[in-house]
């Protein structure tokens, strides 16, 4: 029986190591792209997807954000049925959407709903980077808009966790661009009613999402090392034909340049949001 194997391959090919900057693996072990440590995936998840050696913040899915930040079982998703098509007839877009839906279990790159954070009722939204880079097309624009309108009707604060990698979604062309105007206007109408909006910029928040609703919050927080900016670093590098300084467009760069209010580590985020929501609570609760 064993003779089948003999006399065949003498050498076992060992695949070269995955590049250390590779994506997060689904397997038992995950390599940290920052310090290259091998991390036990279960432990990593338990640690809110933060490397316990170098505190690198891995990207989190939209649902993981809900689980992390909101009170257990308090989240009620809204507009979960909104699904877009391929308005421009952009080649390959349907397949891309189908693949993203399968991969993330989401209908689109944005998850919105009502829930509670440490007892504070609010409207919560999160962008999922796994869905076409967390880009904003018509459905994401519409969902963000509806979330703010819902919050306005119910007079609730909004917390958005944004990770819109490429910003506006190419495949929907001008219609994606117009979502920047639409969402900015929804934010402003919510704001004019005296309501609070906090945005947490996570890795990466770029382009059309950064240049619209993500920048217009009353309080802007950022996760450590998150890439934040308008033009992608590659575009900047190609334009100026120089190497970019280290730390360019990272959260710390944004803080130093006055673009965000504070950098908050993930393990502190829930507490900080609760504190800020409490400061703006109009329920007349006594602050101690």
Partner 1 sequence: MLNGVFEWEKPLIELEKKIEELRRFTKEEGIDFSAEIATLESRAENLRHDIYSRLTPWQKVMIARHPRRPTCLDYIELIFDDFFELHGDRTIRDDPAMVGGIALLEGRPVTVIGPQKGKDTKDNIARNFGLPHPEGYRKALRLMRQAEKFRRPIISLIDVVGAYPGIEAEQRGQGVVIAENIRQMSFLKVPIICVVTGEGGSGGALAIGVGDRILMLENAWYSVCSPEMCAQILWKDTKKAEEAAESLCLTAQDLLAWKVIDEIIPEPPGGAHRNHETVAMTLKEALLRHLQELEAQGADELVAKRIDRYRQIGVVW
Task: Write out the residues near partner 1 by the rule CB under 8 A.
Answer: 82-85, 87-88, 90-91, 137-138, 141-142, 145, 166-170, 172-182, 184-185, 187-189, 206-208, 210-216, 228-232, 234-236, 239-240, 244-245, 248-249, 253, 257-259
User: Minimum distance between the CB of residue 87 and partner 1, rounded to whole angstroms?
Assistant: 6
3-state secondary structure the chain: CHHHCCCCCCCCCCCCCCCCCCCCCCCCEEECCCCCCEEEHHHHHHCCCECCCCCCECCCCHHHHHHHHCCCCCCEECCCCCCCCCCCCCCCHHHHHHHHHHHHCCCCCEEEEEEEECCEEEEEEEECCCCHHHCECHHHHHHHHHHHHHHHHHCCCEEEEECCCCCECHHHHHHHHHHHHHHHHHHHHHHHCCCCEEEEECCCECHHHHCCHHHCCCEEEECCCCEECCCCHHHHHHHHCCCCCCCCCEHHHHHHCCCCCEECCHHHHHHHHHHHHHHCCCCCCCCC
Q: Which is nearer to partner 1, 51 or 186 (CB)?
A: 186
User: Minimum distance between the CB of residue 194 and partner 1, rounded to whole angstroms?
Assistant: 16
CB-count exposure of residue 57 (10 Å: 0-12, 13-18, 19+): buried
User: Minimum distance between the CB of residue 135 and partner 1, rounded to whole angstroms?
Assistant: 10
User: Minimum distance between the CB of residue 140 and partner 1, rounded to whole angstroms?
Assistant: 10
CA distance 253 to 260: 9
Q: Which is nearer to partner 1, 78 or 175 (CB)?
A: 175
User: Minimum distance between the CB of residue 50 and partner 1, rounded to whole angstroms?
Assistant: 26
User: Minimum distance between the CB of residue 10 and partner 1, rounded to whole angstroms?
Assistant: 40
User: Minimum distance between the CB of residue 264 and partner 1, rounded to whole angstroms?
Assistant: 19
For strands 262-263 and 29-31, give the pairing: unpaired
Q: Which is nearer to partner 1, 24 or 178 (CB)?
A: 178
CA distance 114 to 157: 10
Q: Which is nearer to partner 1, 172 or 203 (CB)?
A: 172
Q: Which is nearer to partner 1, 199 or 277 (CB)?
A: 199
Q: Which is nearer to partner 1, 30 or 162 (CB)?
A: 162
Q: Which is nearer to partner 1, 79 or 128 (CB)?
A: 79
User: Minimum distance between the CB of residue 83 and partner 1, rounded to whole angstroms?
Assistant: 8
CA distance 125 to 113: 6
Q: Which is nearer to partner 1, 175 or 278 (CB)?
A: 175
């Amino acid at each position: 029986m064993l003779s089948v194997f003999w006399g065949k391959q003498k050498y076992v090919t060992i695949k070269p190591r995955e590049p250390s900057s590779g994506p997060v693996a689904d397997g038992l072990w995950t390599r940290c792209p920052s310090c290259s440590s091998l991390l036990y995936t279960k432990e990593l998840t338990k640690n809110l997807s933060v490397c316990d050696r170098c505190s690198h913040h891995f990207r989190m899915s939209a649902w993981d954000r809900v689980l992390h930040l909101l009170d257990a079982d308090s989240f009620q998703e809204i507009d979960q049925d909104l699904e877009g098509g391929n308005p421009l007839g952009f080649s390959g877009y349907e397949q891309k959407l189908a693949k993203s839906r399968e991969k993330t279990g989401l209908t689109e790159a944005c998850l919105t709903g009502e829930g509670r954070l440490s007892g504070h009722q609010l409207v919560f939204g999160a962008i999922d980077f796994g869905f076409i880079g967390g880009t904003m097309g018509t459905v994401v624009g519409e969902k963000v808009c509806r979330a703010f309108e819902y919050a306005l009707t119910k007079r609730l604060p909004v917390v958005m966790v944004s990770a819109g990698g490429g910003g506006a979604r190419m495949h929907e062309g001008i219609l994606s661009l117009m979502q920047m105007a639409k969402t900015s206007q929804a934010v402003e109408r919510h704001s004019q009613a005296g309501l609070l909006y906090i945005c947490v910029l996570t890795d990466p928040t770029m382009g059309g999402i950064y240049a619209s609703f993500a920048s217009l919050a009353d309080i802007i927080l950022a996760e450590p090392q998150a890439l934040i900016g308008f033009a992608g670093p590659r575009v900047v590098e190609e334009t100026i034909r120089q190497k970019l300084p280290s730390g360019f467009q990272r959260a710390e760069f944004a803080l130093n340049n006055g673009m965000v209010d504070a950098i908050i580590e993930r393990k502190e985020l829930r507490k900080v949001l609760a504190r800020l929501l409490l400061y703006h609570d109009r329920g007349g609760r006594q602050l101690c």
